[in-house]
Structure 1
Amino acid sequence: MGILEKIGEIEKEIARTQKNKATEYHLGVLKAKLAKYRSQLLEPQGKKGEKGEGFDVMKSGDARVALIGFPSVGKSTLLSTLTNTQSVAASYEFTTLTCIPGVIEYKGANIQLLDLPGIIEGASQGKGRGRQVIAVARTSDLVIMMVDVTKGEVQKDLLTAELEAVGIRLNKKKPGIYFKQKKAGGIKFNATCALTKIDEKMVQMILHEYKIFNAEVIFREDCTPDELIDVISGNRVYIPCLYVYNKIDQVSIEEVDRVAHLGNSVVVSCNMKLNLDYLLERTWQELSLLRIYTKKPGCAPDFSDPIILRGGASVEHVCHSIHRSIVAVFKYALVWGKSTKFSPQRVGIHHIMCDEDVIQIVTKK
């Protein structure tokens, strides 16, 4: 029996098993087996694995955004509208067969936008070049999931399930579980809060399924068996996602209003170019990019060419962006902006910056 058949059998058994107190241990072990087989399915076959023409796109710019969705939802039209790259758009499915990169120039930042071929149901098992598409999505800083507003919820649920199956967790944070495998000492289990979804016996059963008999596990929050399996697997990626509902010109204004108020959702019409400016603003917010302006002593700040950094960047990151040798001679920095209590404020190298801060770096003589 191949891996796909084994996955199918386990999925059927999970579906037909009643969920109650008596079966929770059995379901926990089944989910661990399923995660293990899915990890094997993702491993490259043969020596080099299946690369696929046009999929090895070099990461460039200040951030990478992956555009995924079913065929013919308007991904290529959006890429052509937002960037200077022309991606072939037509009324038939699977117009895009390779990964087409474009660059969005917004607020002084260069954001790489990847138009990926349409995903179909079963992509996580390799159907329709799905495995290569999903591998590129794993390397992105943000996923824009584009769906047809007339079939929105169905497409959204199917795509989320396909990405979940290969370890991409959308709009979720890492579980608060400390896990470390050891060479001896058995399984040491502890929890800093009351656990309602899992207990020590289930933790041991899941670890034994992975052939782990010596480990330390500490639960810092009330997590599920699925989240424990994610931590043990160690190959999960947690990516923010924007759900973009296209073709809003084909539905009523009441439906547009309902969809627009769903979580992490943006409504657009690529053909009529409606609401694309708001989509760009939301993309900027989700990527948490910072614009840092530099200032020379006795001169006005240079607002024409900002340094683009990720959210949470410190003065040290700014120094590295200017030149890697500056950190060695750094003395202090003067900062104007939201990150300070007063302007200018003298700060050290670990000071955290905010968007549109102005910095003047003072070095040792």
Structure 2
Amino acid sequence: MGLEEEIEEIEEEIASTPYNKSTEQHIGRLKSKLAELKEELERKQSSSGGGPGYAVEKTGDATVALVGFPSVGKSTLLNALTNADSETGSYEFTTLDVNPGMLKYKGANVQLLDVPGLVEGAAGGRGDGQEVLSVVRTADLVLFLLSVFEIDQYERLHEELYRNGIRLDQEPPRVSVRKKAKDGISITASVDLELDEGTITSILREHGYANANVTIGEQVEIDRLIDGIRDNRVYLPSLVAVNKADLIEPDYAETVKDRLREHDVDPGEAIFISAEEDRGLDALRETIWQELGLIRVYMDKPGRGVDYEEPLILFEGDTVGDACEKLGGEFADRFRFARVSGPSAKHDEQQVGTDHELADEDVLRILTTK
């Protein structure tokens, strides 16, 4: 039996097994085995080599992956946002390779990657799916592009990403596993767990742990426990844009919103656009900025004053030390202290160290040793 068949067989068994306390351990072992097989399949497919065009170098201040089924308008949107030159047309699979473009907004350079149209089964290797998904995993934000007439595509896309270990709009599980030499598996939890220790232990053993200290800091279900054990999960924010909104009547718009709600997407947070007619794109640019959590830091350069034209772009939560690392050179190696004015400062020209957290539109001056 091949890996694909074994994966399918386990998935069918999981789907057909009712979940209750008596089956919990069995389902936990099945899901653990399933995760192992999927990773083995991914390694096998990666080692056999993929098609051309998927090794994309990350450039700019952040990267956004445009995810959607073929011919939903990704290439048209990329061109509208970035002035890239992507071959477009009313045909499926017109984007054969990953097509990059650069969105310039508020002084930031945001790399947009129009990945080849995802198809169902991509996580299992269909349609160069593994290569496509590997590009998505390296992004800082996933932008789902849906046709206004095909809202149900969202669930299928979301499932493909989930199957490939991409977790959207959630924090990593508060689960820590440390191997030890002996004494079996010890479990420490800060909450009253619903999973029993036998299930947790069987899942860990299925993942190769015979002796380990396990710390759990949240209420976890089987899938989330497995996510916490494995090191191949990525956690990304996501955004939904609904294209071709100019082609529907106002009364149908309510139907579209209802369908979004059915897939747990808040219509108020989705961006309705027409890439062809250049509608809603300003709102989309701003939402991309917000979802990425980017901030602008204006550098006060000795003898030249504050540069408001080309800010240093960082992420929310970044510190003066992160700014030094991005600037490189003498700033990181010869840092003495910094002076900050703006939202993060208690007063103008506040003297701070590398651990000071910066905010959007701060003014930063870095002083170095001679």
Structure 1 and Structure 2 fold alike (TM over 0.5):
yes
> What's the counterpart of residue 76 of structure 2?
77
Cα distance per residue 1:174-197 (max 9 Å; x no partner): 00111122332310111011112x
Unaligned runs of 5+ in 2: none
**What is the CA–CA distance in structure 1 between the aligned matches of 2:72 and 2:160, rounded to whole Å?**
17
**What is the CA–CA distance in structure 1 between the aligned matches of 2:101 and 2:44, rounded to whole Å?**
27
**What is the CA–CA distance in structure 2 between the aligned matches of 1:213 and 1:321, rounded to whole Å?**
42
> What's the counterpart of residue 40 of structure 1?
40
> What's the counterpart of residue 159 of structure 1?
157
Alignment equivalent of 1:170, drawn from 149, 163, 168: 168
Q: 1:88 to 1:297 in 2, by over 3 A?
A: closer
Q: 1:34 to 1:351 in 2, by over 3 A?
A: same
CA contact (8 A) 1:100 1:115 kept: yes
Q: Greater CA deviation, 215-224 or 327-336?
A: 327-336
SS in 2 for 1:353: coil
CA contact (8 A) 1:168 1:237 kept: yes
> What's the counterpart of residue 277 of structure 1?
282
Matched, 1:286 2:288: no
> What's the counterpart of residue 200 of structure 2?
203
Q: 1:297 to 1:76 in 2, by over 3 A?
A: closer
> What's the counterpart of residue 220 of structure 2?
223
Alignment equivalent of 2:243, drawn from 216, 231, 246: 246
How far off is 1:329 after superposition?
Answer: 3.2
**What is the CA–CA distance in structure 1 between the aligned matches of 2:181 and 2:140, rounded to whole Å?**
35
**What is the CA–CA distance in structure 2 between the aligned matches of 1:310 and 1:278, rounded to whole Å?**
20
Cα distance per residue 1:317-336 (max 9 Å; x no partner): 22233343234432221111
> What's the counterpart of residue 339 of structure 1?
344
Unaligned runs of 5+ in 1: none
Amino acid at match of 1:123: A
**What is the CA–CA distance in structure 2 between the aligned matches of 1:73 and 1:316, rounded to whole Å?**
42
**What is the CA–CA distance in structure 2 between the aligned matches of 1:246 and 1:53, rounded to whole Å?**
29
TM-score, structure 1 normalization: 0.94
Q: 1:116 to 1:299 in 2, by over 3 A?
A: closer
Q: Greater CA deviation, 317-326 or 115-124?
A: 317-326
Matched, 1:95 2:94: yes
How far off is 1:254 after superposition?
Answer: 4.9
> What's the counterpart of residue 303 of structure 1?
308
Amino acid at match of 1:226: D
How far off is 1:346 after superposition?
Answer: 1.5
CA contact (8 A) 1:149 1:245 kept: yes
How far off is 1:149 after superposition?
Answer: 1.9
**What is the CA–CA distance in structure 2 between the aligned matches of 1:223 and 1:264, rounded to whole Å?**
27
CA contact (8 A) 2:174 2:228 kept: no
How far off is 1:299 after superposition?
Answer: 5.4
**What is the CA–CA distance in structure 1 between the aligned matches of 2:177 and 2:339, rounded to whole Å?**
41
Matched, 1:325 2:330: yes
> What's the counterpart of residue 106 of structure 2?
107
CA contact (8 A) 1:256 1:267 kept: no
Matched, 1:212 2:174: no
Cα distance per residue 1:10-59 (max 9 Å; x no partner): 1111111122222222211111111111111111448x432321111111
> What's the counterpart of residue 7 of structure 1?
7
TM-score, structure 2 normalization: 0.93
Matched, 1:118 2:117: yes
Matched residue count: 362
Cα distance per residue 1:150-201 (max 9 Å; x no partner): 221x2111111111111011111100111122332310111011112x1211
CA contact (8 A) 1:241 1:264 kept: no
**What is the CA–CA distance in structure 1 between the aligned matches of 2:138 and 2:44, rounded to whole Å?**
16
Amino acid at match of 1:155: Q
Amino acid at match of 2:232: N
Q: 1:26 to 1:348 in 2, by over 3 A?
A: same
> What's the counterpart of residue 30 of structure 1?
30
> What's the counterpart of residue 136 of structure 2?
137
Q: 1:147 to 1:306 in 2, by over 3 A?
A: same
**What is the CA–CA distance in structure 1 between the aligned matches of 2:292 and 2:56, rounded to whole Å?**
20
**What is the CA–CA distance in structure 2 between the aligned matches of 1:93 and 1:185, rounded to whole Å?**
57
> What's the counterpart of residue 191 of structure 1?
189
CA contact (8 A) 1:68 1:146 kept: yes
SS in 1 for 2:177: strand
Q: 1:37 to 1:350 in 2, by over 3 A?
A: same
Amino acid at match of 2:31: K
Matched, 1:56 2:61: no
Q: 1:336 to 1:150 in 2, by over 3 A?
A: same
SS in 1 for 2:307: coil
SS in 2 for 1:71: coil
Amino acid at match of 2:163: A
CA contact (8 A) 2:176 2:229 kept: no
SS in 2 for 1:361: strand
> What's the counterpart of residue 270 of structure 2?
265
SS in 2 for 1:204: helix
Amino acid at match of 1:181: K
Cα distance per residue 1:281-329 (max 9 Å; x no partner): 1111111112111113575411111111222211122223334323443
How far off is 1:135 after superposition?
Answer: 0.8
